[in-house]
Structure 1
Amino acid sequence: MTPPLDLSRRQFLTASSLAAGAALLAGCAPGQVSASDTQTLQFWHLLSGGDGVTMSSLLDGVNDAQDAYRIRPTVLAWGTPYYTKLAMAGAGGRAPDVAIMHATRVNGWAPGGLLDDWDLDRLADLGVDKSTFPAPIWEKGFVGDRLFSVALDAHPFVMMFNTDVCDAAGVLDTDGRLQETASPEEFLDQLRTVSGTAEGHALSYGYLGDGAQMWRLFYGLYAQHGLAIELPLGGKAVIDKDAAVESLTFMQTLLDGEIAAAQNDYGSAIAEFATGKSGMLMTGVWELRTMQNAGIPFDATMIPTLYGTPAVYADSHSFVLPHQTNADETKRELTYQFVADLLKGSFGWAEAGHIPAFLPVTESAEYADLIPQAHYAEAAEHVVYDPTAWFTGSGSSFQEDFGAAVQGVLLSGDDPAAAIDRFEARANTMLAQPNPADPEGKWKP
């Protein structure tokens, strides 16, 4: 919301707080950084396991490289617990200086005044602007014309392949890369060829009880039709039924017991590929370290473009400014510096499998030598995020709702068209409900 010309920005915030019962979003003017005192910046994130270890290493790097600030991280449980605590901290005036959010969750938060927007000029002064990001990743950070998140990465849904198994099947090109397939029929033929050499299945794909896994593959295939699902608040979901049914039917075809196991959960699929029994695996880039530790020969690529338009489902870990009613300008200035420092030093994040959003990292000679990461880096130019709505995004119930609607298709051969109808009905039920962060629908970006 842009303040009226006859109000100062701070007066506007005060008036809006009284009227709405909560502070709205505000950018902050640049402050002066003291070179004499090291400031402690509170940083919340939800990264655990291997990602948590990698993030800790990156934070050590930025802390050791300068004396102006020290990052004090707080790690909270992934998903609903994290977002609940972050929202409560913002509403209660105890927000950290900076936090990580999934880019797909930001649209639901911005109207509630839980986030401050980023100052584009201040970021640009630090070498961070739209020219240093792939277009779809930079644009995802905006709600209206205001930037509310700055992406650290893209973590897409990709396809890993066992190079020994696929080489024996004769489906690698002269460079050792997986031969391209450009239609569902070509890809199915390739998979059936691989099934003849794999000890287990041609493809490992786990979906049982995991709505996110079902959604990642489905929405990537749907987007390859050159389409996007639209979820207008107060309206009806816009879904191309033919494309949706075609995508879901193709997923059903994969689970024939030969190409892929008819019933497989996430862990079983990971284990099958990690033990060298299958030829390919559809998974997120976050499993790269798992496969490296398993010691199998593998490479990775984008999931083939089967319906004409290159598209890959992804989300992004993004930096946000949890709202602070009276932000300390010295710390706010240093927060900008921290984010710029981490983006520029994010090569270690690439080593963990994620695609750094900062183009100078992925366009470097060092990154070109990073295999298999460099082989799927192009996915950053074709990422597709969840449909924009207050109830979508990683860690929300939206993807589980999708799974509940369609699992019977994959598990029992239920009618794909009926499953899409169930999903659409659920989406329409959610669209009829207001954003809890803006129940009266008054906020304008």
Structure 2
Amino acid sequence: MKQFDSLAGKHLNRRQLLAGSAVLGGMLAAAGLTGCGGSANAAVQDIAFWHLLSGGDGIKMQAMISKANQGNPGFTVHPTVLAWGPPYYTKLAMASAGGRPPELAIMHASRVPGYAPGGLIDPWDMSLLAEHGVTPESFAPRIWDKSQQNGQVFSIALDSHPFVMFFNTDVAAKAGVLSANGQLQGVSSPREFLGMAREMQKVTKAHGLSFGYLGSGSQMWRLFYTLYKQHGVDMELTPGQPMQADRDAAVESLEFMASLFDDTVAAKSGDISTGIAEFARGSSGMLFSGVWELPTLKKAGLPVDAATIPPLYGTPASYADSHSFVLPRQLNDDDEKRRSVYKFVSDVLKGSLSWAEAGHIPAYQPIVKSQAYRELTPQIHYANAADIITYDPESWFSGSGSDWQTYFAENVQNVLLGRDKAADGWDAFVRRTNTLLFRPNPV
């Protein structure tokens, strides 16, 4: 504006008039305002999108974003990648509360219950998604149920990413535990599983199973909750009430986990990285980890396959979470931009076969039912996990990357190291959880 002020009150010659007109025309064009025959709608919409996907997942997501941008000249999605875990969720909450959120964000489905009640995210209008062919029937039942809070849809899942069992087919064959169909022989009890692991250890001369857990509450919780839910029991976290859980099932699950770390079945101690590295170099026959590790294992050149963790306590169950799209609450609604967000999300869902290549199970069922997906191995061998996945018990403080999982580690790690009794570790975790249950949701 200073340039216009300098011309005010002066007699303008032709050159000055033309210069001033050029500046004004440039400003109008930048604002999306054109002359006769133009339209404000010709401006490209900028859509801010926050996510926490890094490494191989981040590369895949960027490719899907770029493809959607290329196919939709009316908008450009600009991603911002933030650190996984508490920092991400804290920044997202602060941005929403402060009136400067992105138009779209990724959240783990397990974290949505802590955000939806506080008005930090908006519900989805399924009629708008239906315009692009995305309906409730597009999702597996368990995934769709998880998307809702109090009868409203607050998240649209991109995937489910379960905790599974990878195995080295060469080691399994030499150990005599590989079936004719190329899958591991069925086991249905802790004793049978330990026996299978020990047969694999005879082949590797190191360990039968790799599972790194030190310093990782999320890693410990994923295995624990899988085993706990395989008992056919529930866990409830109701505000203002003590934690409701089956103590016997919890203690038995922790005792079995501790029994793994005998330096024969699995190493006595190790973190996630050392566990993955051990399996990748062929020093164990099996690995408990998330499906997102598949690209790393394939890159290592392993003869790798995968399956859901066998039901050792009678009930098929697999811990999982979902990367889900959410709509941060906007201070000023922009209907056209919001419609563009819906189009972008539908395009990403429909292009999620590439996401499946990274190991995740697409939430969009037309992809899962496609011939192209059926040809992905070992992905197709654990696709049944979508039917048995179990999310964290709902609470404002539970979920992936939460401090609650850190508290689990603080009370359980010494159990796995053989220093504390399983019952004592569990009881201490329950007391810590009960403290949280009597606190209000801070967001």
Task: Normalising by structure 2, report the TM-score.
Answer: 0.89
Q: Distance in 2 between matches of 1:252 and 1:327?
A: 52
Letter in 2 for 1:398: W
Aligned to 2:102: 96
- State whether structure 2 residue 375 is matched by structure 1 residue 375: no
- State whether structure 2 residue 143 is matched by structure 1 residue 137: yes
Q: Distance in 2 between matches of 1:303 and 1:35?
A: 52
Q: Distance in 1 between matches of 2:40 and 2:108?
A: 32
SS at match of 2:236: coil
- State whether structure 2 residue 53 is matched by structure 1 residue 47: yes
SS at match of 1:196: helix
Q: Distance in 2 between matches of 1:361 and 1:250?
A: 37
Unaligned segments of structure 1, at least 5 residues: 1-32, 438-445
Q: Distance in 2 between matches of 1:120 and 1:350?
A: 24
Q: Distance in 2 between matches of 1:234 and 1:165?
A: 50
Q: Is the 8 A contact 1:157 1:314 kept in 2?
A: yes
SS at match of 2:442: coil
Q: Is the 8 A contact 1:104 1:388 kept in 2?
A: yes
Q: Is the 8 A contact 1:76 1:82 kept in 2?
A: yes
Q: 1:397 aligns with which of 394, 403, 419?
A: 403
Q: Which moved more, 1:318-327 or 1:404-413?
A: 404-413
Aligned to 1:311: 317
Q: Is the 8 A contact 1:156 1:315 kept in 2?
A: yes
After superposition, residues 277-296 of structure 1 pair within 5 angstroms as 277-296=283-302
Letter in 2 for 1:403: A
Note the alpha carbon deviations across 1:263-299, whole angstroms, 9 max, x for none: 1211110110011111000001111111111111111
Q: Is the 8 A contact 1:80 1:396 kept in 2?
A: yes
Q: 1:364 aligns with which of 370, 376, 382?
A: 370
- State whether structure 2 residue 189 is matched by structure 1 residue 183: yes
Letter in 2 for 1:345: G
Aligned to 2:335: 329
Q: Is the 8 A contact 1:392 1:399 kept in 2?
A: yes
How many percent identity over aligned positions? 55
Q: Which moved more, 1:184-193 or 1:389-398?
A: 184-193
Note the alpha carbon deviations across 1:1-24, whole angstroms, 9 max, x for none: xxxxxxxxxxxxxxxxxxxxxxxx
Aligned to 1:236: 242
Q: Distance in 1 between matches of 2:80 and 2:273?
A: 28
After superposition, residues 108-123 of structure 1 pair within 5 angstroms as 108-123=114-129
Note the alpha carbon deviations across 1:212-235, whole angstroms, 9 max, x for none: 111100001101111121010000
Q: Is the 8 A contact 2:86 2:403 kept in 1?
A: no
Aligned to 1:155: 161
**What is the deviation of 1:149?**
0.7
Letter in 2 for 1:300: A
**What is the deviation of 1:307?**
1.2
After superposition, residues 167-178 of structure 1 pair within 5 angstroms as 167-178=173-184
Q: Which moved more, 1:124-133 or 1:310-319?
A: 124-133
SS at match of 1:197: helix
Q: Distance in 2 between matches of 1:210 and 1:79?
A: 12
Q: Is the 8 A contact 1:34 1:68 kept in 2?
A: no
Aligned to 1:16: none
Aligned to 2:414: 408
Q: Distance in 2 between matches of 1:247 and 1:130?
A: 35
Letter in 2 for 1:152: L
Q: 2:63 aligns with which of 57, 68, 73?
A: 57
- State whether structure 2 residue 260 is matched by structure 1 residue 254: yes
Q: Is the 8 A contact 2:108 2:400 kept in 1?
A: yes
**What is the deviation of 1:320?**
0.2
Aligned to 2:80: 74
Letter in 1 for 2:96: G
SS at match of 2:78: strand
**What is the deviation of 1:34?**
8.8
**What is the deviation of 1:129?**
2.3
Q: Distance in 2 between matches of 1:56 and 1:139?
A: 28
Tell me the matched-pair count. Answer: 405
CA RMSD across the alignment: 1.4
Q: Distance in 1 between matches of 2:224 and 2:87?
A: 27
Letter in 1 for 2:209: L
Aligned to 2:28: none
Aligned to 2:204: 198
Larger Rg: 2
Note the alpha carbon deviations across 1:159-192, whole angstroms, 9 max, x for none: 1001111110011111211111112122121111
SS at match of 1:353: coil
Q: Distance in 2 between matches of 1:147 and 1:343?
A: 16
**What is the deviation of 1:210?**
1.2
Aligned to 1:276: 282
Q: 1:385 aligns with which of 385, 391, 412?
A: 391
**What is the deviation of 1:38?**
3.0
Note the alpha carbon deviations across 1:395-433, whole angstroms, 9 max, x for none: 111111111111111102421111111111011000010
